[in-house]
Amino acid sequence: MANCIRCGRQLPAFTFKKICQWCVQHEAAQRGEDTADAKQIVLPAPWVRRESSVNLTQVILGANVMVFIAMVIASGPSMDFTGQVMVHFGANFGRYTLSGQWWRLLTYMFLHGGLFHIAMNMWCLWNLGTLCESLYGRWTYAAVYLITGVAGGLASVGWNPGVLSVGASGALFGLTGALIASFYLGEFSLSGINVKGTLSSLLFFAGFSLFMGRMVPGIDNACHVGGLVSGLILGALIARVAPAYNDVPRRLGVILFGVLLVSASAYGVWQWRGFPLSVTHASEFLAENKPDQAISELQKIVRKQPDFVPAHFALAHAYFSKSQYPQAEGELKRVLELQPQHQGARFELGMAYLSDDRPKDAQDCFAQLLSQDANDADAHSGMGMAQAAQGDHLKAIEEFKTALQMDPGVAGVNYEMGRSYAKLKRYDEAIAAYLKQRERDDDSFTEGALADAYEAKGMTQEAQAAKNKAAQLKSGQRD
């Protein structure tokens, strides 16, 4: 069957005409040969193809509802889901998505946080989806829905990487943007009044929704904007470049361009946000007592981005947790090569030297820190530990006192000072230091050292009480 050479509509069978009746009347009106109140005939839009009765909008809506039911079953009778449930089902969350779980950019748009959330989104989908599907055809509509949904998800993790995002609204704003562009730029077999009315409704919906997203907390407006902008681009390209549904190469070209644009955006977001979030995600394994997994993930990041300081610093911590001090030293030195003024790395390097029984090297590290900042309480504390490790306990005690003057809350200083007093056999002062440490942060080491000091003073009852408490604390740490 032949097509109109102007708009691409199918011509009636057994006709020798090359232009459809709609284009004939439309061109006559443009030349002024038709009266202004002449009734424009209604024919299918150029890009509409007669398809089967299966409605893709119904399929998408059904998929959303089925996932919602599965979430209800998984989380019990409540229809307001916890973040843990939503993450399990595929919510879009920066530290997971940008750490390699890119499939979340697809799954998140089929999840919803509660009954009201899915009800509102499915109502919008029914209206917008039906209109968009009739305008573009099934497969172009599906492509627009998915591409703009992914674009919305990317905008969300780019702008709010720490916010958990779920819902179809990114894709719904994508459909809105595509329809706005198509109604503004395309030609339709509808009256101008109908086109303008629909366009006005879409513009009001987009503007009002974005305004509410800014005013109401908990709404991911970044996702809405990402979907809307990508939809405007795709809708404009379809209307101008590939309005005819049967022009498959041009349609595919537009869709491919959309995919490439979103892919480039994904790479940009990953470069911007991905590495810090990947380090955070890998470091969580340390908190879960999985240092080997943390080291493996951090090594991958370092190979991809050799000059990324936070990855080297986190990897040093992971090595430190496994008492692999030479490896930790190597990572910390790499950090200092990249950022010579990185005080945290220099302090950690000094602690690595102390743990590896290299107190002189540790002292040099802490001396460099104090040359940068003489009021650094942690550096004074480290210097005291380095001097104590070399047997100079009098100087060590002075450093510990200086650290406490600058920051009374500096970690572990009273315990270390108590140990130096005990080495000098000044047990009363050692006991006083241990008791101050107990007030701030009690543990089995402090109680054990306190028991030894009491025993040295002949205070057997107090010593036994401290030993009992040390055993209790040690048992609790194992549990």
Report, as an integer, the average pLDDT of 91-99.
87
Q: Which helix (H) or strand (E) segment is 412 a member of?
A: none
Alpha-carbon separation of residue 448 from 219, 441, 452, 458, 459 (angstroms):
53, 14, 6, 15, 14
How far is residue 144's CA from residue 135's CA, in Å, rounded to a whole number? 12
Would you give the distance in Å from CA 430 to the centre of its chain? Answer: 49
Q: Which of 96, 84, 91 is nearest to 108 (CA)?
A: 91
pLDDT at position 128 is: 86
Lowest mean pLDDT among 90-104, 261-275, 339-353, 464-478: 464-478
How far is residue 344's CA from residue 362's CA, in Å, rounded to a whole number? 14
Residues of the chain with CATH 1.25.40.10: 272-426
Residue corresponding to tokens 């002024």: 32
pLDDT at 166 over 50: yes
Contact 198, 254 (CB under 8 A): no
Task: Tell me which CATH code domain 272-426 carries.
Answer: 1.25.40.10
Residues of the chain with CATH 1.20.1540.10: 56-268
**Which CATH code, of 3.40.50.720, 1.20.1540.10, 3.10.20.30, 1.10.10.10, is assigned to 56-268?**
1.20.1540.10
- 165 bridge partner residues: 92
200: exposed, middle or buried (Cβ count in 10 Å: 0-12, 13-18, 19+):
exposed
169: exposed, middle or buried (Cβ count in 10 Å: 0-12, 13-18, 19+):
buried
pLDDT at 475 over 90: no
3-state secondary structure of 45: coil
HEC profile of 262-324: HHHHHHHHHHHHHHHHHHHHHHHHHHCCCHHHHHHHHHHHHHHCCCCHHHHHHHHHHHHHCCC
pLDDT at position 191 is: 46
More confident residue, 58 or 190: 58
More confident residue, 401 or 246: 401
